[in-house]
Structure 1
Amino acid sequence: MADSDSLVALITGAASGMGLALAKDLLAKNWRVALLDISQAGPSIASELGPSAVYFHSDVSSWESQAAAFGGAFKTWGRIDFVALNAGIDDKEDFFGPTADADGNPVKPNLKTVDVNLVAVFYGIRLATHYFRKNEGRGGKIVLTSSDAGLYALVGVPQYTACKHGLVGITRSMAPILAKEKITINAVLPAFVPTGLAPPGLIDAWPKEHITPMSTVLKAFNMFVDNDEMTGETGECSLDTVYLRKQPEYANESQRWGREEGGKVWALVYPG
């Protein structure tokens, strides 16, 4: 990639937590950063970060809103080199609660979590790919913020768990195809990191010896940003270590064939 003083990053969910920490880290390395968020504090945060930061109000669950923000970032600097699809929310309803309204009819579930944590990521990958294709053959890098809930079930939080598992699958599924265009895609999977995403009371109740520091998450992001060859990797961040987690072992040789040699058959139907 080009020298860091000319590189442009776009980060969703950038006004707090991991997104803001990543923005500050990149700015300290002379990147220019587009911060996407729905926070009313976004403009003032970008102003405090300096002239190399710009804020775009964006509801990432809306294609139109996210596309407008990507377009604004590209118009501002004429390029996008790295995209961190980091925005996320927790489950917004008790999926195991009442299922009927006052008249006894089934109530449609609130799937906003899926819209933000999964659908919006597909939007972001499509937009990143679009703008990376304008980089004169240089490609680009995508990092998804998954979670250790992408590996282990978070009991009672099904939407969040499903989405974070989905991001692991997206990373592994899309990497070989995107690599043909010099686009890498990886995922960070943090364990418990105290951020505004945590429900009230959870941070105080969580034992300090089981808290993963933000520095470990930044270590994972930097590993994926700095390496031009690493793709399809999922970095589990626990305590002070980043663990590169592989997909489960094949159950038998038939399953191995189905994913390796059988890939030639799949390619007849899905030629990407």
Structure 2
Amino acid sequence: MSSPVAIVTGASSGIGLAITMHLLSRGFRVVMADVNAADGTRISAELGESTKFIQTNVAVYADQAVLFREAFKWGGNRLDFLAANAGIDDRQSLYEEDSEESEDGTPKELSLLTLRVNLDAVFQGIWLFKHYVRKNAIPGGKIVITSSAAGFYPMSSNPQYTASKHGLIGLTRAAGLHQPLISENITVNCICPTFVHTNLCPPHIRDKFPQEHVTPMSTVLKAVDLFLDSSASGETVELSLGQLHYRKVPPYLDDNTRWLGQEAAKLWEEGYEQPPQLKEQAV
């Protein structure tokens, strides 16, 4: 039986590179995806033939489509794991003064690149992943999304980053608990690290950061293993220092919210079905 195949986004540095090397130690073949072609190509060559680097801007769907198509082909028509890890911080501050104006005097559009990379790209990654893992000899595969502790707490300095990481937790809980996906052996889980040394932190700040508040990379890898080695889905785990903490969905406020969250699902499913009269017209 051939070795399992993984895609890791943001694989040229930080958490993505650590996950790549860890997967190799577990016998995976790894497709490394990153926008940084120079480092990605060099590192992949150093790591050997069990890796393949594909330059990918995850914010561009066409790039991701090529990534998944080529990964599946390189893996011998097999894809087992996606580490949806690529992420960036805010590239324009929501709070800055409106220094640039359009011709009509209104502020120029705020850059939402952070949301495209951190959140939109993960939706597209799941969309592509499920397409290919359904073609596996044994259908199914596992997804681990890198969110952040900022997905639970407000990080007022970076509202786009905060919003995107909150969104990833919601995505994990919605898609990961979707019974049809689970029945196809497709799992979706989420890791939420506190501060880990990565390139997102400017070097001059990283050097000042108190070591007692730094979560080691070994904790991240322990969380990845947790989901690789189980059938769990829809779980969000916060990583703080050396500990993994399951963060459960908040309890329903009352019977009304419980009904809306659970029983109303049947109504929503019916609502999204094509009405009978439209089906007749389509025929």
Fold-level similarity (TM above 0.5): yes
Does the CA contact (< 8 Å) of 2:28 and 2:50 recur in 1? yes
Partner of 2:227: 224
Matches within 5 A, 1:199-238: 199-227=202-230, 229-238=231-240
The alignment's TM-score, normalised by the length of structure 2, stands at 0.91
Inter-partner Cα distance in structure 2 for 1:138 and 1:105: 51
Instruction: Give 1:129 deviation, angstroms.
Output: 0.6
Aligned position for 1:171: 172
Partner deviation per Cα, 1:35-82 (whole Å, 9 max, x = no partner): 000112111100111110110000010000111011111111121100
Which residue of 193, 196, 213 corresponds with 2:196? Answer: 193
**Structure 2 runs not aligned, ≥5 long:** 274-283
Distance 1:181 1:8 in 2: 18
| Shift of residue 247, structure 1, vs aligned partner | 1.3
Distance in 2, matches of 1:198 and 1:14, equals 17
SS of aligned partner of 2:90: coil
Of 194-203 and 31-40, more deviation after overlay is shown by 194-203
Distance of 2:214 and 2:235 partners within structure 1? 23
Q: Which structure 2 residues correspond to residues 27-106 of structure 1 after superposition, within 5 A?
A: 27-39=24-36, 40-77=38-75, 78-101=77-100, 104-106=105-107
What SS does structure 1 have at the residue aligned with 2:78? coil
TM-score, normalised by the number of residues in structure 1: 0.94
Distance 1:105 1:265 in 2: 42
Matched to 1:13, the amino acid is G
Matched letter for residue 119 of structure 1: D
Task: Give the paired residue count.
Answer: 267
Asked if the contact 2:3–2:28 (Cα under 8 Å) also holds between the matched residues in 1, the reply is: yes
- Indicate yes or no: 2:180 matched with 1:182: no
Partners of 1:20 and 1:261 in 2: CA distance: 42
Tell me the residue number matched to 1:267.
Answer: 269
Q: Render the CA deviation track for 1:124-171: whole Å, top value 9, x for unaligned.
A: 011101111101343000110000011111112110000000000000
Maintained 8 Å contact 1:11/1:36:
yes
User: 1:201: how far off?
Assistant: 2.5
Preserved CA contact (<8 Å) 1:144 1:186:
yes
CA contact (8 A) 1:118 1:167 kept: yes
Residue 17 (1) aligns with residue 19 (2): no
User: How many Å separate the matches in 1 of 2:126 and 2:190?
Assistant: 13
Shift of 1:267: 2.0
Q: Deviations over 1:81-135 (max 9, x none)?
A: 0001000000011210022425643121011101100111111011101111101
Please state whether the residue corresponding to 1:10 is helix, strand or coil.
strand
> Aligned equivalents of 2:160 and 2:195: distance in 1?
18
Q: Secondary structure at the match of 2:32?
A: strand
Distance 1:207 1:253 in 2: 45
User: Any idea what SS the aligned residue of 1:205 has?
Assistant: coil
CA distance in 2, matches of 1:211, 1:74: 36
Whether the aligned pair in 2 keeps the contact of 1:149 and 1:164 (CA below 8 Å) is: yes
Equivalent residue of 2:123, what SS?
Answer: helix
Give the conservation status (yes or no) of the 8 Å contact 1:137–1:181: no
Assess if the C-alpha contact under 8 Å between 1:34 and 1:73 holds in 2. Answer: yes
Provide the C-alpha distance between the structure 2 equivalents of 1:41 and 1:267, rounded to a whole number of angstroms. Answer: 46
Q: What are the Cα deviations for residues 203-253 of structure 1, in whole angstroms up to 9, with x where unaligned? A: 1222111110000011111101111x2000001000000111011121111
Quote the Cα distance in structure 1 between the aligned partners of 2:158 and 2:177: 31
CA contact (8 A) 2:78 2:137 kept: no
State the AA in 1 paired with 2:265: G
Report the secondary structure of 2:191's partner residue.
Answer: strand
Aligned-partner Cα distance in 1 for 2:197–2:172: 25
CA distance in 1, matches of 2:107, 2:121: 27
Contact 2:90–2:158 (CA under 8 A) maintained in structure 1: yes
**Separation of aligned partners in 2, 1:137 and 1:179:** 14
Percent identity between the two aligned chains? 46
